[in-house]
Amino acid sequence: MKLLIDIGNTRLKWAVYQGQDCMAQGAVAHGDIASLAEAWQGWPISAGWAASVASPELRAAVDAISPVPLVWVLAQRAAGGVSNHYRNVAEQGADRWLAVLAARSLVNGDVVVACAGTALTVEALSAEGDYLGGLILPGQQLMLQSLARGTAQLDRPAGEHRAFPQGTEDAIASGVLDAQAGAIERMRARLAAHSGRPAAMVLLTGGDAARLLPHLAAPVRIVDNLVILGLLSMASTS
């Protein structure tokens, strides 16, 4: 069995796979990582793959409780039928690269990969397997927090998304969602202009994916744990 671990900015997600079948999965906040030692003990794990965008200290904490030595995956110049055109591959987050690898295995065509968590990342992958690059912008909560900290009048709960917001709370909620949806749609338009093909599929993942879904044009779908699926693809070819 394989242990797959995705350490994000606020949470750690994990899964145990036997072949292509998920036997168990879970997620914990960074402060609860020690509790995973017991959760993993009950599985006959023979190998492990992991990716992290968190601190080296957190990575070391996970290494200490893992039942097997972990292979820490980094972004690569090429893998899984994808050519990485990032200028400096070494500085790219492994989570972004793994999400693109997973998308390649799920979509036969142009695809935009949007990971909506603490940050929103938006990646462009062509049908030919060229990862062209992507965007990084604040996630929904970070946008709300920046408004609360940086202005005198906007430290208040967000309201509802409206086409024409007529109240401050709704204006905040609508502005945040429209900014994120707009970034995704602009990337989709750029990819279509680059490829000369119709609008790409958008794959959404992350904690805020469901909130973004209604604000994007078709075709679009949510895929849970996209980074874990990318780790599975790496593990399956190792």
Residues noted as catalytic: 95
Distance of CA 161 to the CA centre of its chain: 23
Residues 6+ apart with CB under 8 A from 79: 101, 234, 237
R_g of the chain computed on alpha carbons: 19
CA distance 30 to 10: 6
- Locate tokens 């509790």: which residue? 35
CB 218 within 8 A of CB 185: no
Alpha carbon dihedral 66, 98, 72, 4, in 10-degree steps, equals: 20
Q: Are 143 and 176 in contact (CB under 8 A)?
A: yes
Structure tokens at 192: 């279509």
| β-pairing verdict for 78-79 and 82-84 | antiparallel
What is the CB neighbour count within 10 angstroms for residue 158? 22
